[in-house]
Amino acid sequence: MAHELNFNSAGKASMAYAGETPWHGLGQQLTPDAPLDVWTREAGLDWEVKKGAIAYEVRDEENNPVRMQTVPARWALYRSDTGAPLSVMSSNYHITQPRAVMEFFRDLTEGGDFKMETAGVLRNGSTYWALAKAEDSFDVGGGDVVLPYLLLATSCDGSMSNTAQFTTTRVVCNNTLSLAVANKTGQIRVPHSTQFNAEKFKAELGLCADTWSQFKTSATSLSKRKVSKEEAARYFLDVFYGDEAESIDVEAKRPMIELVTKIYLDGVGQRAKTAQGTAWGLLNAVTRFADHERKAASRDTRLQSAWFGAGARLKRDALTQAMAMV
């Protein structure tokens, strides 16, 4: 059984998708026009986060129980359907309910601008998200097509703010990449110290057209920027080692660098003219590594990393380093 993915009492993974099996290969397949309520149920998002008082047992000198005492200003968060504990939070923590993540997409999908692609629950319910595809694909060149998506994710254990970000998927290899939005960090984030406001999120995401337009220009520039063997070696060192890269011998053998170099030279999608010996190819070698090749305990832990964790940070660094070359 997967380490991060949630399963219901019937043994079904709490994840759903439409169309072809997604790159992470998890969940129940739905029809593209399935109602949002069906999505909510099949993705395992049809429950609420509840909160209850935290109590402990006070004991006397002989260790006999005397009375129950509650912890002030702290609450235990738990699932309404199973009663399973999720986290312990302070009284000023604002919960974003799983259903609210799906409702965020209701007018976007009903208006025809987006179509639901995948949604689900990780880590027993402490992280949940939904992903919708925009109807505006882009060909970098020669059939190297990239699709735009909108991702909304949150948690109820303090590990993640309410987070919205635009992401892309390169069709030829299913590599994913986050795009910079508004504040250039790649995400719009609202902490749980404030109430989740879906309309405010949507207003900030009004930069969608500009963001996607900028990415198209950037991808084209990267695909035309030819790189030498030496530049490729230095790029990978900069991405994987950051500030330490300058003191590292380019010729020294490092398994991770050797793997990503192999992906760059002959990985899935790297035979496309847009990727052969280009900065676009360098970027996609790293995204391929983060999404598909990096060691992970399971497919769902890989998904968690690629979208929200170390893999996502690695890909953002890769994009920054690649753009510095053009």
Residue stretches of the chain with pLDDT short of 70: 1-12, 23-25, 180-187, 206-209, 245, 247-253
pLDDT at 249: 66
pLDDT, tens digit, 9 for 90 and up, residues 231-243: 999 999 999 988 7
pLDDT at 277: 97
Beta bridge partners of 115: 133
Q: How far apart (Å, rounded) are the C-alpha atoms in residues 46 and 27?
A: 15
Residue 165 amino acid letter: Q
Cα 114–Cα 120–Cα 121 angle in degrees, nearest 5: 145
pLDDT, tens digit, 9 for 90 and up, residues 87-96: 999 999 999 9
Instruction: Flag whether the pTM goes above 0.75.
Output: yes
pLDDT at 182: 42
pLDDT at 25: 67
* Total H helices, total E strands in the chain: 10, 12
pLDDT at 321: 94
pLDDT at 185: 46
Question: Which letter, b or e, does each residue of 271-303 get, where b requires 16 or more Cβ atoms within 10 Å of its Cβ?
Answer: ebebbebbbbbbbbbbbbbbbbbbebeebbbbb
